[in-house]
């Protein structure tokens, strides 16, 4: 197995489209690896509802190994999504079954991968040391740079990913060198329209963003990460890897949903008001992770 992604999933409810799409950082990365030509698996949990079936069916259609995807009683995670000029905006939702604890069998399955990927969205920070003992770990920190969060986790990480569209060139250079000094062999930074960077402890490489018609930015960073991890496993040169990953992100921006498979809300959830989709929203963690 090339990559096993472990952690979050969600169903993205696009309010203006009236459609629900499968997603979540870990899910999206697993799909991106498979679409790049690699083998991938996903470890997580969904509820025994229509949104859970949508996620399972979508992963099967993308050739992602789901033997360690468990189904529990309750609701599959969901969040509401709106858009402004193609940029996604998250509104409240619920984490539901996505907040799970991996079993010994889950960890053993993850250990079969060349790289295990997880994310700040997944609530599995305490499991990271165990994952690192079993294989190389990829971790998406997004823009979590405050309160020592990244500083504590970086020693367990082989490939660290950050989102830094708001940083200038100098601050990005400082970020990658600081992160690499804490342990990772590779640091990847996505910068939105400014492109992306890779630092391997010795050489820093940057590329400009690939051109794209921005329909929906949700999942673009995850597509970049999945393609980059596949390139690292294959030993691609850094510049070629970054360019291919940027093109993967651009393709994601040109369509709705993190990787498609959208269905109308009534087909998925019985329409607004069904399966806990309406009513007072409650989030048990970050509202959006893609």
pLDDT at position 85 is: 66
**Residue located via tokens 């960073």:** 221
Interval 252-266: pLDDT, tens? 999 999 999 999 987
Q: How confident is the model at residue 134 (pLDDT cuts 50, 70, 90)?
A: very high
- Return the minimum-mean-pLDDT range out of 26-30, 153-157, 216-220: 216-220
Q: How confident is the model at residue 277 (pLDDT cuts 50, 70, 90)?
A: very low
Residue 271 reports pLDDT greater than 60: no
Cβ-contact 45, 19 below 8 angstroms: no
pLDDT at position 281 is: 32
Residue 50 reports pLDDT greater than 80: yes
pLDDT at position 87 is: 63
Residue 285 reports pLDDT greater than 50: no
Just give the CATH number of 3-269.
3.40.1190.20
Interval 215-249: pLDDT, tens? 898 999 999 999 999 999 999 999 999 999 999 99
Q: What is the pTM of this model?
A: 0.91
Spatial CA neighbour of 245 closest among 212, 221, 219, 217: 221
Q: How confident is the model at residue 14 (pLDDT cuts 50, 70, 90)?
A: very high
Cβ-contact 282, 92 below 8 angstroms: yes
- Return the minimum-mean-pLDDT range out of 91-95, 177-181, 218-222, 267-271: 267-271
Q: How confident is the model at residue 147 (pLDDT cuts 50, 70, 90)?
A: confident
pLDDT at position 211 is: 87
Quickly count: other Cβ atoms within 10 Å of residue 61's Cβ: 13
Sign of CA pseudo-dihedral 151, 177, 186, 24: positive
pLDDT at position 290 is: 57
Strands (DSSP E) found in 78-210: 78-84, 87-94, 115-119, 136-142, 159-163, 186-190, 196-199, 204-207
Domain ranges of the chain: 3-269
Interval 112-126: pLDDT, tens? 999 999 999 999 999
Cβ-contact 2, 27 below 8 angstroms: no
Residue 278 reports pLDDT greater than 60: no
What mean pLDDT comes out for the span 258-283? 61
């Amino acid at each position: 197995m090339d990559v096993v992604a472990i952690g979050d999933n969600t169903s993205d409810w696009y309010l203006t489209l009236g459609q629900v799409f499968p997603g979540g950082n870990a899910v999206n990365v697993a799909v991106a690896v498979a679409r790049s030509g690699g083998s991938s698996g996903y470890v997580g949990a969904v509820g025994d509802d229509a949104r859970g079936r949508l996620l399972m069916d979508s992963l099967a259609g993308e050739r992602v190994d789901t033997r360690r995807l468990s189904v529990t009683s309750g609701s599959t995670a969901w969040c509401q999504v709106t858009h402004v000029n193609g940029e996604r905006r998250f509104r409240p939702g619920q984490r539901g079954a996505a907040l799970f604890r991996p079993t010994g069998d889950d960890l053993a399955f993850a250990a079969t991968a060349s790289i295990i990927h997880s994310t700040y969205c997944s609530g599995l920070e305490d499991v990271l040391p165990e994952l690192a003992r079993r294989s190389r770990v990829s971790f998406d920190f997004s823009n979590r740079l405050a309160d020592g969060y990244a500083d504590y986790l970086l020693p367990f990480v082989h490939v660290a990913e950050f989102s830094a569209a708001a940083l200038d060139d100098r601050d990005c250079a400082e970020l990658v060198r600081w992160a690499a000094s804490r342990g990772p062999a590779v640091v990847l930074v996505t910068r939105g329209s400014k492109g992306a960077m890779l630092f391997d402890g010795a050489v820093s490489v940057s590329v400009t963003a690939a051109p794209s018609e921005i329909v929906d930015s949700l999942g673009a960073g995850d597509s970049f990460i999945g393609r980059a991890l596949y390139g690292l496993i294959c030993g691609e040169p850094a510049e070629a890897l970054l360019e291919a990953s940027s093109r993967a992100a651009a393709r994601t921006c040109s369509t709705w949903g993190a990787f498609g498979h959208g269905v109308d809300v009534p087909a998925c959830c019985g329409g607004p008001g069904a399966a806990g989709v309406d009513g007072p929203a409650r989030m048990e963690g970050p509202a959006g992770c893609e």
